[in-house]
Each structure stands twice: as C-alpha cells, then as structure tokens.
Amino acid sequence: MAKLGITVLNGQGEKKSGVENEDQVLLVYKGIYEPGDRILFESDEKDTYYVIRVDGAMDEAYVYLVRNTVEYVIPFEEKKVSYNPASFTGERHYITMRKAMEHENRSFRNLAKNVMDQHSDIGCYPHASANVETRGEAVFAARNAIDGVIANESHGSWPYESWGINMQDDAEFMLDFGRAVDVDKIYLYMRADFPHDNWWVEAAISFSDGSGQVVKMEKSVKPHVFEIEKKGITWVKLSNLVKADDPSPFPALTQIEVYGRNR
C-alpha cells in the first residue's frame, strides 16, 4: 500500500495542517488561505495514477505523478480569476488524495483533462504548455485548455478562460501526458465570442511518434471532432494555426479533449 500525505504550508514553508494515511487520505483544513500558501501532496510511490481534489469547489483530478511530491500553489488576485470564484475561499477546505482504482486506469476517458494543472511543470500529468500566452495573464494560460470547462461564447474570467495566443502567428500548444497512451479521437473547442473572436480554419496536429496531420475547421460554437488513432504516444502538439479571413485578430482555444486509454 502507498503511504500518502497532504500538508498545507505557508509562504515560509511552515506547516499549517497535515495528515497521513495509506492509499487514501483526506484533509479538512480549517483556516483562511493567505498569499504564499500551498498544498503538498506526497506519496512513497511515483510513476503511478492518483485521484486528487485540491478544493471542494473543483472536480477531482485524475493524474499521473512522476515525482513523490507535488506542490500546489493556492492562486490569488490575478491568478485566481481563471478559477471558480467559490474555490479556495472561506474557512473550511476539503482536500483529498487516493490511488486510482484499477478500473479507472483501464477506462476510456479524456486523457487531456487535469483541473489541477499549473503553469510550471511539477511532475503532475497531463500538463499543458505553450510558447505564448496573451500578456502572460492567467485567463489566457495554456492550462485553461485542459481544465474541463467548455464555456466558449465569451472571454476572460471563469468560466470563459482560454488559451490566448497574443495575435502571434507562430503560436504552439503542447499537451504532455507524462506516459504512453493510446488515442482514438481529439476534440477542439474554439473560443467563439463572435464578433470579438476570429477562428482557425486549419491546424497541424503532431505527435511524439513523429507523425502528424493537418485538420480543417470552421466558424462554430460546437467542438471540432477528429478521428485520429495513435498508439503509445506521450504528447500532442498544435501548431501552424491559420486564422480565418476575418477582421478580428483574436482566435483562441477554449478546450482540447483527447479520448483514449492508458497503455
């Protein structure tokens, strides 16, 4: 059995609360979060699947951890606006961690979703990154495209956060799974705040096995669905994004979903 721990630390690294248990651990932290606070998730097993809830107002995250320790920084001020306003507030906080069950590890699922993804790579996968994020603002960060929120008819604060490209023609988006997976289909939700937004009519999707293909898209609120079968890939990249002939300079990605199974 895996030994698990959850610890809330302040900005100086001092322990505010914590708990340990085997295979499943739960912490109800009684206190108001302050800037610099973070949650430490620990396990004596790595390269393993876990289910973690960082806050009672957020979904559980099914993740693959390649390190024994994962540090989750509590967002404040500008970084908080891309999250549900109810999250990380108040004086009681429900935090959980458990080893994933075998049927969860075998199931067909959205392999891209990770509600606890952060800007830096902390060894918790899937993880999103990009070569540009509009003005460095949290509401346009790459992580927004894998947080499970598909509201795409506006832009800005939650639930309309997205990956914004700052009008950069060479924008690229990387989704790293942290392990090998088998993929059957990919969904792309373009941000559709028309007429504020432009949209992409073409994109290149490339994979860790060296393969890739060009996909076509159109102006739509609905997701674009691509039947793409890949075996044993570890990452997916979007690049060569071609804007439509439209006055708006602002295309953006609300969500990417990648459906398949762990190997």
Q: Residue 208, SS3?
A: coil
Q: Distance between CA 110 and CA 10 in Å, rounded?
A: 34
Residue found under tokens 């060296």: 210
Q: Distance between CA 96 and CA 105 in Å, rounded?
A: 18
What does the pLDDT look like over 78-110, one tens digit per residue?
999 999 999 999 999 999 999 999 999 999 999
Percentage of the chain modeled with pLDDT above 70:
100
Residue 13 has pLDDT above 90, yes or no: yes
What does the pLDDT look like over 58-77, one tens digit per residue?
999 999 999 999 999 999 99
Say if CB 95 and CB 29 are below 8 A apart: yes
* Chain centroid offset of residue 14 CA: 28
Q: Distance between CA 1 and CA 24 in Å, rounded?
A: 10
- Is residue 121 very low, low, confident or very high in pLDDT (cuts 50, 70, 90)? confident
Residue 42 has pLDDT above 90, yes or no: yes
Burial of 210 (0-12, 13-18, 19+ CB in 10 A): exposed
Which residues is 231 bridged to in the sheet? none
* Chain centroid offset of residue 45 CA: 22
What does the pLDDT look like over 103-116, one tens digit per residue?
999 999 999 999 99
pLDDT value of position 63 = 98
What does the pLDDT look like over 228-244, one tens digit per residue?
999 999 999 999 999 99
Residue 225 has pLDDT above 90, yes or no: yes
Q: Which of 83, 190, 62 is nearest to 139 (CA)?
A: 83
Q: For residue 138, how many other CB atoms are within 10 A of its CB?
A: 20
pLDDT value of position 122 = 82
Instruction: Concatenate the DSSP letters of all residues of 52-120 into one string.
Output: EES-TTS--EEEEESSSEEEEEPP-GGGGTTS-TTTT-SSEEEEEEEEPPHHHHHS-EETT--TT--SS
Q: Which of 112, 53, 119 is nearest to 87 (CA)?
A: 53
Quote the DSSP letter at residue 253.
E
Position with higher pLDDT, 208 vs 122: 208
What does the pLDDT look like over 189-222, one tens digit per residue?
999 999 999 999 999 999 999 999 999 999 999 9
pLDDT value of position 92 = 98
What pTM was estimated for this model as a whole?
0.96
Q: Distance between CA 222 and CA 219 in Å, rounded?
A: 9
pLDDT value of position 1 = 85
Give how far Cα 88 sits from Cα of 80, 85, 172, 263, Å: 9, 8, 31, 34
Say if CB 15 and CB 31 are below 8 A apart: no
Query: Mean pLDDT across the stretch 12-21?
Result: 97
| β pairing state of 69-73 and 24-30 | unpaired
Residue 120 has pLDDT above 90, yes or no: no
